[in-house]
């Protein structure tokens, strides 16, 4: 009875130690995840807001310059500038928040992978050291001790794969993606990740990480389209390779685009501001009984050629003046 009690106590102690170790590992993972997410979000927000501010300033300056070139008053130039800046700020606001969110998710996923990997490797090393020590105490040779160490380490790593997959699956579910995408594709654009998730077989995680046979893959029932590829039993390449390559090609975007396609937004804002200015100027000319500035019957259309000729003459005279001053 005493021996049974000792064995029972030993097992209970081992279970308690294991539970404590798992709790500590989970706390460490989540602390690392939180710290990484916050740091990445802070850095991403600073970069995104700087890019958006620059885009707004450049759009405003361009709109004001074009208004000035069209003969607008200083008040109209200022109005065009403010309109363009406001349009860019509003257009980039959502892009900034999306960039911050995705940067945080990527950093958190990296922290989780690092934490789980390090914990698994630490456990493998400890198992190897214990096996080697026990082999040495039993009088085994150095080569036998080494073999015991390596065997224990490999067994620990193989055992960790399944438990690690379960851990990753929890975090992947929280991120709203499959475990495969969470582990391998988190740095992709949001559109690419969503595309890959829909493209892959529904049980691809089990095939990738749990030894599911390829013949048992359950392919997506989504109908393939120009905007959404789908891997099926007729796809020649492996599904992960096919889906990643196809989805990346469909969604060719980079981090700066995600921070805000500032060039396109600036151009759109500038055009909007220019339209506001020209519409107001046309209304003023109409009130004076004059034709509008733009349009088929506008002043630019009627006198465009004359303006071009005048410009050429001015340029020629400037060149003559420069040559005269030099020589």
Domain that holds residue 317: 297-327
Structure token digits, residue 73: 């008053």
Is 110 found in the same domain as 239? Answer: yes
Please check whether residues 195 and 315 belong to one and the same domain. Answer: no
Task: Say whether both 101 and 232 belong to one domain.
Answer: yes
Spatial distance between the Cα atoms of 197 and 217, rounded to a whole number of angstroms? 14
Q: Each residue of 272-318: pLDDT tens digit?
A: 544 544 555 555 556 556 555 555 455 444 444 454 445 555 555 55
* Segment among 63-77, 114-128, 208-222, 309-323 with least mean pLDDT: 309-323
Task: Give mean pLDDT, residues 82-97.
Answer: 82
Higher pLDDT, 99 or 280: 99
Alpha-carbon gap, residue 215 to 180, rounded angstroms = 19
Tens-digit pLDDT profile for residues 133-166: 998 998 889 899 899 999 998 888 888 777 788 8
Domain contains 15 = no
Name the average pLDDT for the chain.
Answer: 75
User: Is 23 a member of any domain?
Assistant: no
Pair of tokens at residue 44: 């991403």
pLDDT band, residue 203 (cuts 50/70/90): very high
The four Cα atoms 137, 140, 141, 146 give a dihedral, to 10 degrees, of: -80
Contact present, 19 and 105 (Cβ < 8 Å): no
**Banded pLDDT at 10 (limits 50, 70, 90):** low
Residue 40 has pLDDT above 80, yes or no: no
Question: Does 285 reside within a domain?
Answer: no
Half-sphere exposure of 42 (CA within 13 A, CB side): 6
Domain boundary among 233, 258, 283: 258
Q: Which residue has the higher pLDDT, 24 or 218?
A: 218
Question: Band of the pLDDT at 188, cuts 50, 70, 90?
Answer: confident
Same domain, yes or no: 249 and 305: no
> Total structural domains in the chain?
2
CA angle 220, 161, 204 (to 5 degrees): 5
Contact by Cβ (8 Å): 93, 122? no
> What's the pTM?
0.53
User: Phi/psi at 290 (nearest 5 deg)?
Assistant: -105, 155
**223/305 same-domain check:** no
Q: Is the pLDDT of residue 253 over 80?
A: no
Question: Last residue of some domain: 197, 231, 258?
Answer: 258
- Considering the domain architecture, whether residues 218 and 325 belong to the same structural domain is answered as no
Which segments of 70-178 does DSSP mark as H helices, in order? 74-137, 142-175
Question: Per the domain annotation, does 84 fall within a domain?
Answer: yes
* CB of 119 closer than 8 Å to CB of 103: no
Report whether 183 contacts 113 (CB < 8 A).
yes
Beta carbons of 240 and 248 less than 8 angstroms apart: no
Say which residues have a Cβ less than 8 Å from residue 214's Cβ, sequence separation at least 6.
207
Q: Which residues contact 158 (CB under 8 A, 6 or more apart)?
A: none
Q: Is 118 part of any domain?
A: yes
Orientation of helix 74-137 relative to helix 142-175, angle to 10°: 150
Q: Are 234 and 309 members of one domain?
A: no
Q: Are 230 and 220 in contact (CB under 8 A)?
A: yes
């Amino acid at each position: 009875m005493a021996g049974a009690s000792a064995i029972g106590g030993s097992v209970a102690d081992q279970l308690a130690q294991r539970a404590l170790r798992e709790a500590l590992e989970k706390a460490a993972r989540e602390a690392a995840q939180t710290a990484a997410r916050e740091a990445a979000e802070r850095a991403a927000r600073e970069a995104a807001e700087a890019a958006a501010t620059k885009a707004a300033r450049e759009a405003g300056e361009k709109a004001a310059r074009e208004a000035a070139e069209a003969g607008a008053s200083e008040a109209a130039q200022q109005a065009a500038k403010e309109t363009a800046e406001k349009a860019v700020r509003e257009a980039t606001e959502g892009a900034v928040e999306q960039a911050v969110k995705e940067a945080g998710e990527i950093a958190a996923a990296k922290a989780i992978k690092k934490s789980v990997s390090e914990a698994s490797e630490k456990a493998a090393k400890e198992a190897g050291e214990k096996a080697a020590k026990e082999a040495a105490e039993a009088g085994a040779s150095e080569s036998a001790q080494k073999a015991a160490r390596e065997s224990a380490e490999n067994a620990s790593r193989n055992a960790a794969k399944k438990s690690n997959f379960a851990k990753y699956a929890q975090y992947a579910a929280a991120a709203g993606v499959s475990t495969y995408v969470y582990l391998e594709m988190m740095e992709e654009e949001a559109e690419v990740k969503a595309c890959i998730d829909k493209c892959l077989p529904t049980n691809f995680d089990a095939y990738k990480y749990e030894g599911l046979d390829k013949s048992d893959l359950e392919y997506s029932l989504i109908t393939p389209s120009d905007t959404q590829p789908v891997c099926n039993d007729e796809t020649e390449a492996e599904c992960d390779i096919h889906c990643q390559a196809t989805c990346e090609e469909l969604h060719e975007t980079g981090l700066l685009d995600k921070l805000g396609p500032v060039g396109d937004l600036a151009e759109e804002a500038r055009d909007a501001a220019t339209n506001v200015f020209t519409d107001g100027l046309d209304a003023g000319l109409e009130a004076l009984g004059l034709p509008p500035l733009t349009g088929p019957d506008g002043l630019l259309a009627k006198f465009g050629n004359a303006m071009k000729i005048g410009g050429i003459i001015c340029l020629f005279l400037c060149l003559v003046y420069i040559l005269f001053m030099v020589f």
